[in-house]
Chain A
Amino acid sequence: MATAIDPTVGGLPLPGGPAPARTGVLARVRGIRPAVALSVLFLAIIAIAALVPSLLTKGNPLAVNLGHSLQSPSLEFPFGTDQSGRSVYTRVIYGARESVLIGLGATAVGLGLAALLGVAAGLGGKWVDGAINRLLEVLFSFPGLLLALFLVAIFGSGVSTQIIAVGVASAPGYARMIRGQVLQVKGADYVIASRALGHKPSRTLFKNILPNAFRPLVVLATLGVGQSIVWASALSFLGLGVAPPKPEWGAMLDAGKDYIQTAWWLELFPGAAIVAFTLAASCLGRYLQRRIEGETF
């Protein structure tokens, strides 16, 4: 009789993930580090901006005031004003909603698609695996941004296209990882044990394989949100994103790029928002990664 195996103990670290640092400075720092705390704080602010922007600013992001155009940062306009005299601060705050929506949406689409493809490839047998792998190779041969551009060209620009475009473009990378996870988990002792115990295949799939294969996805998702925002901003920067006058960080960068020599604040603040958000999301993602891999407690 085999000893009982707790399925939740299984799971493997992400292939290719950073090597856990057990020694040195990091090992001495227990608990939540300041960078993580800062990240959580910043993400909380962004969450407020995305959900109830009026808590952070009394202004209207669309209020054109031609008498105030291109003013440098001041007490009244902390981030200055744009060409139409709109407050850049207000627009960065209100821009959070579109930017975060695109980031989360695209990551969800990307991971969803990837989960379908990855699990099917991992469990579907030789033919299905082969077909999906070829498909992924074809998708890989396009640079992600190009694939996104292609989809925007077909469906036209807009938030939903941006979400789908960035999501689809990021799916092949995730799909590969999920397939790898599924294959590894499938061969793990606890799955073999579960089968040997005579459990139904569906039970083995839902209780053993999927939970363990998907565990690293929590981390991937956090890291992915930041990446998606950068990609979506790139699309907006190319004029293929959110239609004006809606504020969105990438679109704001695009609108201000010709003024970089005369009105630096048009570029600095939306650019800083993208960088800070991506850094915070990545920092939190890596923290979660270490937690899940059992490196910190």
Chain B
Amino acid sequence: MKPSLKSRLTALAVFAALAALTAVVSACGGSSSTAAPANTTSVVGVGAGAKKVEGTPVKGGTLVYGTDREPTCLDPHNLGDMPQTYVARQYLDSLVSMQPDGTVVPWLAEKWNISKDGLQYTFYLKKGVNFTDGTPFDAEAVKANFEQTLDPETQSSTNLVYLLPIYKGVDVLDKYTVRINLKRPYSPFLDVLAQAFFGMESPKAMARGIKENCVSPVGTGPFILKKWKKGQEIDLVRNPNYNSPPADANNQGPAYLDAITWRFIPDPSVRWQALQSGEAQAIFNIPPEDFAAAQSDPNIEVQQFVHAGIGHYIVLDNSEPPFDDLKVRQAFNYAANTAAAVESAYQGAYPVATSAISSGTPFYTAKYANLYPHNLAKAEKLLDEAGWKKNANGVREKDGKQLTVKFIYGSSPGETPPAELTLYQNVQAAAKEAGFEVTLVPQPLAQHNEQANIPKDYDAEPTYWNCPTPMCMYIVASTETYDSPFANMSRIKNPQLDQTLLAAAATTDRKKQAALYGKAQQIIAENAYWVPMYPEQTLLGISKKLKGVWIEPSEGEPILSDAWLEG
């Protein structure tokens, strides 16, 4: 179920104009800007971007936004889990804002220069912006943010893995000019900075220490974090002095809404009922079983966004038997029958993924997608060749060892919705036909977070990596990130893949990038390093009374500063 071509084209048309604006603004910087040029064949995500809205905005009112998971820390520089970025976007601004066409537009940075060698990024900052605790936003503040982001204490599985390998240092050139120096060229640098994970926070607030800042981070954003009622909701109120919206926002002043109640409703059907009953005016992730009902409900608008990045996939532990054998990995891919498994579990609400990266990622190519359509005969043949023979119970054996696959997943509330569990059981049953004995092992979250990074404790596990650039193939499959938590969980070591991706990051030539990123997708697909399942989606269910909501493309964050409540 893809969004209609028409809505995609409208979004692109709106942004053609903004892209032109970007070109003008970045030209003001003086030197050649390498902000990715507009490219209509390549989009970041599908279904994102500000939309033209009809009607006159109304001020006031409190929006109740129902979402599934509660972050454990509200400062997104820490940990790096998706629920953090969604809420942080409401109170933090970033240096740049990303467009659906892969370009970036000014935000807290008015303009920027990139040196010819791609190693120095100079940002010229907006003046007269204050954090909501009164601290001025300036070059020193940007410096403090980069420093906190790179503090290993934050245990960030997002910021650290992006920045640590490439970051060299930061120079404050004057009060409103700051330069970031890189160790090696990294062409998606600006795209990465657009995510709320890299939102700018008050240095004064950060100085209180991670623990306190986790509870009450302070930004320059359109809303102010008022109170976090743990297990219940986060209360956000309008920032009346907001003067730093991104160039792509419809509303260039303070938010229309008085307040947002960011409520945690982990149970999907309860969340859906909250929207139907009017208790919430917007909900995150309509449950798949109610997706059709939501689409036909005249009082509800559905916004469907397909994230860029590595969609939901089954990690296979490449470092140990049985998946250290290419033939066994290929056999598992052929046997899993993911297309039918996803269809049955998500009933058409989710598309099927067949490639290393999501179809909403820049430089995605369909050429190496669908290399392993369901084919039991091929799976059986590959396993025979690999020396795994079926025993009387239909399970394969080799040297007295059974072909077992320990498949771990988090079972705490909200972690694995029933549809997801159906999907795993479907894959389990399909793989069984080829002779794989897949054991599903539910784990409480704390235990899972630990074991998820210890290969001897799993053979397979589900995960995903949302990111605005195909370069995150490097995060989930490089030698450099081999031991980083929640990064290369498949334990892949392939020098050819490393070199291909580093070369892609080193060039700003889009043709070369396309060839190199294409090759990386080929290497991953041919090695059957993992099993793609479906792209991550944001499915917003929005009451028709709530106008002007849109989804930004870098991480699918909902933009509520443009929204207003009618009636």
> A-side interface residues toward B, CB under 8 Å?
62-64, 66, 69-70, 82-85, 153, 156-157, 238-240, 243-245, 254-263
User: A69–B344 contact, CB under 8 A?
Assistant: yes
Which residues of the other chain, B, contact A157 by a CB distance below 8 angstroms?
Answer: 411, 442
Once bound together, how far apart are the Cα atoms of A156 and B267, in whole Å?
22
The reply to whether the CB of B16 lies closer than 8 angstroms to some CB of chain A is no
| Known contacts A64-B425, A244-B421; A258/B443 CB under 8 A | no
In the assembled complex, the Cα of A157 lies from the Cα of B444 at a distance in Å of 9
B268, A258: Cβ atoms under 8 Å? yes
Instruction: Report yes or no: A84 in contact with B413, Cβ–Cβ below 8 A.
Output: no
Which of B413, B417, B418 is in CB contact (< 8 Å) with A256?
Answer: B418
**Top-10 shortest CB links A-B:** A64-B429, A83-B422, A66-B344, A258-B269, A66-B340, A69-B344, A245-B425, A239-B411, A258-B418, A255-B418
Q: Which of B417, B429, B439, B441 has the most CB of A within 10 A?
A: B429
**With A and B bound together, what is the CA distance between A126 and B417 in angstroms?**
52
* Residues of chain B lying within 8 A (CB to CB) of residue A239: 411-413, 416, 442
A157 to B419, CA, bound (A): 20
Contact B426 A84 (CB under 8 A): yes
Which residues of chain B are near A254, meaning CB under 8 Å?
Answer: 418
Main secondary structure of the interface of A (DSSP, over half): loop
A160 to chain B, nearest CB (A): 15
Q: Determine whether the beta carbon of A153 is less than 8 Å from that of B444.
A: yes
Known: A256-B418, A261-B289. 19 other contacts (CB 8 A): A64-B430, A66-B340, A66-B341, A69-B344, A83-B344, A83-B418, A84-B344, A84-B345, A84-B425, A84-B426, A84-B429, A156-B443, A156-B444, A243-B442, A244-B442, A245-B428, A257-B267, A261-B290, A262-B293
In the bound assembly, the distance between CA atoms of A85 and B430 in angstroms comes to 13
Which residues of chain B come closer than 8 Å to A238, judged between CB atoms?
413
Task: Please state if A258 and B289 are interface contacts (CB–CB under 8 Å).
Answer: yes
What 0/1 readout, one digit per residue, does chain B (552-566) give for beta carbons within 8 Å of chain A? 000000000000000
Do B411 and A84 touch across chains, with their CB atoms under 8 A apart? no
Q: Are B417 and A258 in contact (CB under 8 A)?
A: yes
Contact between chains at B344 and A259 (CB < 8 Å):
no
Complex CA distance for A69 and B425, rounded to whole angstroms: 13
Chain B residues near A244 (CB-CB < 8 A): 421, 424-425, 440, 442
User: 11 interchain pairs (CB within 8 A)?
Assistant: A64-B429, A84-B422, A156-B443, A255-B418, A255-B422, A257-B418, A258-B267, A258-B417, A261-B289, A261-B293, A263-B289
A262 to B422, CA, bound (A): 16
The residue that B419 contacts in the complex, of A62, A258, A261, with Cβ under 8 A, is: A258
Interface-central residue, A63, A245, A259, by most chain B CB under 10 Å: A245
Given A64-B425, A83-B422, A84-B426, are A245 and B269 neighbors across the interface (CB < 8 Å)? Answer: no
Interface centre among A70, A244, A254, A255 (most CB of B within 10 A): A244
Give the CA-CA distance A127 to B145 in the complex, in Å. 62
List the B residue with the shortest CB-CB distance to A85.
Answer: B344
* CB interface residues, B 332-389, toward A, < 8 Å: 337, 340-341, 343-345, 347
Q: Which residues of A contact B419 (CB under 8 A)?
A: 83, 258
Chain A residues contacting B118 (CB-CB under 8 Å) are none
Q: Is the CB of A245 within 8 A of B442?
A: no
Given known A-B contacts A64-B426, A258-B419, A245 and B440 have beta carbons under 8 A apart = yes
A239→B563 CA distance, assembly (Å):
37
Which of A64, A83, A84, A258 makes the CB contact (< 8 A) with B287?
A258
Let me know if B10 is at the binding interface, CB within 8 A. no
Which residues on the A side are within 8 Å of B289 (C-beta)?
Answer: 258-259, 261-263
Closest partner residue, chain B, to A245 (CB atom): B425
CA distance A275 to B297 in the complex (A): 35
Interface residues on B, range: 35 or more
Closest B residue by C-beta to A64: B429
Residues of chain B within 8 A (CB-CB) of A85 are: 344
B400-448 residues with Cβ-Cβ distance < 8 A to A are 411-413, 416-419, 421-422, 424-426, 428-430, 439-444, 447
**Interface of chain B residues 302 through 346 with chain A (CB within 8 A):** 337, 340-341, 343-345
B425 nearest in chain A by CB position: A245
Report the Cα distance A70→B422, complex, angstroms.
12
Nearest-neighbour CB distance to chain B for A163, whole angstroms, equals: 17
B446 nearest in chain A by CB position: A153
Return B419 CB to nearest CB of chain A, in Å: 7
**Would you give the shortest CB distance from A59 to chain B, in whole angstroms?**
14
Nearest chain A CB to B338's CB is how many angstroms away? Answer: 11
How far, in whole Å, are A238 and B411 apart by their CA atoms in the complex?
Answer: 9
The CA of A239 and the CA of B347, in the complex, are separated in Å by 22
B340 to chain A, nearest CB (A): 5
Task: Chain B residues near A64: list those with CB within 8 A.
Answer: 425-426, 429-430
**Known A-B contacts A157-B442, A256-B418, A258-B417; A245 and B429 likewise in contact (beta carbons under 8 Å):** yes
Cα-based distance from A82 to B443 in the complex (angstroms): 24
Measured between alpha carbons, how far is A16 from B306 in the docked complex, in Å?
A: 61
Query: What's the minimum C-beta distance from B521 to chain A, rounded to whole angstroms?
Result: 28
For A259, what are the chain B residues with a Cβ–Cβ distance below 8 Å? 289, 418
Residue of A nearest to B414 (CB): A239
Residue numbers in A under 8 Å from B447 (CB-CB)? 156
A82 to B337, CA, bound (A): 18
Closest-by-CB residue of A relative to B292 is: A262
B340 neighbours in A (Cβ, 8 Å): 66
| Residues on B with beta carbons closer than 8 Å to the beta carbon of A262 | 289-290, 293
Tell me the minimal C-beta distance from A195 to chain B in angstroms. 53
Chain A hits for B411, CB < 8 A: 157, 239-240
Instruction: Say whether, besides A83-B419, A256-B418, A257-B418, A66 and B442 are in contact (CB < 8 Å).
Output: no
Closest residue of chain B to A260, judged by CB?
B269
Nearest residue (CB) in B for A254 is B418
Instruction: Kindly state the separation between the CA atoms of A133 and B563 in the bound complex, as whole angstroms.
Output: 60
A63 CB, nearest partner CB in chain B, Å:
8
Identify which of B345, B439, B440, B444 gathers the most chain A CB atoms within 10 Å of its CB.
Answer: B444
B97-149 interface with A by 8 A CB criterion: none
A69 to B421, CA, bound (A): 14
A243-B425 contact, Cβ under 8 Å, with A84-B344, A255-B418, A261-B269: no
Residues of A within 8 A of B267 (CB): 257-258
Q: Which residues of A contact B343 (CB under 8 A)?
A: 66
Q: Please, which residues of chain B bring their CB within 8 A of the CB of A70?
A: 347
Q: How far is the CB of B434 from chain A (nearest CB, A)?
A: 14
Q: Min CB distance, B454 to chain A, in Å? A: 16
Say how far A171's CB is from chain B's closest CB, in angstroms: 24
Closest residue of chain A to B416, judged by CB? A239
B286 to chain A, nearest CB (A): 11
* Complex CA–CA separation, A82 to B287 (angstroms): 16
* Cα–Cα distance between A42 and B111 once the two chains are bound (Å): 76
Give Cα A176 to B413, complex, Å: 34
Of A62, A69, A243, A256, which one neighbours B429 at CB under 8 angstroms?
A62
Which chain A positions have C-beta within 8 A of B341?
66
B128 CB to closest chain A CB (Å) equals: 49
Q: Tell me how far the C-beta of A246 lies from the nearest C-beta in chain B, rounded to whole angstroms.
A: 9
Min C-beta distance of B115 to chain A, whole Å: 52
Contact of A243 with B440 at beta-carbon distance under 8 Å, contacts A66-B341, A258-B268 already known: yes
